[in-house]
Amino acid sequence: MFVLKTVKLFHFKELDNKVQKSIIDNHIQDLPEWWSDDVEERIKNEAQAIGIEDFDFVWSGFDCQGDGLSFTGTLGFKSWLFVLQQQFPNWVSDDVNESHGFKELGESLADIVMLQENNRISWGDCVIERTTNQYYHESTVYVNEPSSSLHGGGLGRSGRVYSSDRERMESFGLKVQKHLVRWKDSLCHQWYADLEETYTAILDRENITEDIISRGQYFTASGNIIDADEIVV
């Protein structure tokens, strides 16, 4: 036996303001866990494009002490050189801006690569590792100086290894580490900002209102959603 019940239905805009507010509040409280999936996938793709191996990242947000994003992984020689080239295209140092230069081992990126390929020097990986699990911001990971070794022939044309060669290698390695720390911090901030921007947009009350209206749903006067298959016209 079917029982028909007559209930007056409303579109969202027709509801009382307090009821509309309650519906929006419930929508915010029921935020799905997958809201960040697209951003997280984009972060992984960007890390892969950079060449970060064994990449992993964690984050928390957005209004507590220690919130932020950080990542761990390994940058091989060509990957960290790529990062430096992108961040500091003016490879050669000068008297005005010494801090951005890498003149210790050559005048250009090609000089550094040539020394490596000719087996004059060997640069290893740069490992980014976690130092604490208490928080997740960019300062919870540490960028290690890339390992290095100096082979026969030295850095000059004489074919000999001098003590100054080792000093130049050490200076270069420390400068690489310093600039990769800046790059790492900037990337963490950027990715965290992407997540926060998405989160803010999802919780924007105007955006939620537009989304509800676009669905064309029917509601009772108290704000309960009525499924389309329950409606008999």
Interval 189-213: pLDDT, tens: 999 999 999 999 988 999 889 988 9
Residue 97 within any structural domain of the chain: yes
Structural domain includes residue 194: yes
**Residue 144 placed within a domain:** yes
- Answer yes or no: is pLDDT of 27 > 50: yes
Looking at the domain assignment, is residue 15 inside a domain? no
Range of the domain at 94: 36-206
**For residue 225, what pLDDT is reported?**
86
The long-range contacts involving 199-204, CB below 8 angstroms and separated by at least 24 positions, are 199/35, 199/36, 199/61, 199/62, 202/31, 202/35, 203/28, 203/31
Q: Assess whether pLDDT exceeds 90 at residue 23.
A: no
For residue 107, is pLDDT > 60?
Answer: no
The residue that leads in pLDDT, 166 or 97, is 166
* For residue 231, pLDDT beyond 70: no
CA distance 151 to 155: 9
Domain assignment present for residue 150? The answer is yes
Range scoring the smallest mean pLDDT among 56-65, 200-209, 219-228: 219-228
The answer as to whether 106 is a domain residue is yes
Determine the average pLDDT of the residues in 23-52: 91
Q: Where are the alpha helices (DSSP H) in the chain?
A: 17-29, 37-50, 77-87, 109-117, 163-203, 205-215
pLDDT at 145: 94
Least confident of 47-61, 133-147, 196-210: 196-210
Rounded to whole angstroms, the Cα distance separating 118 from 151 reads 10
State the pTM of this model: 0.79
User: Tokens for 47?
Assistant: 């890390």
In a domain, 91, yes or no: yes
Tell me how many domains the chain contains: 1
**Residue 231: inside a domain, yes or no?**
no
Residue 8's pLDDT band, with cuts at 50, 70 and 90, is confident
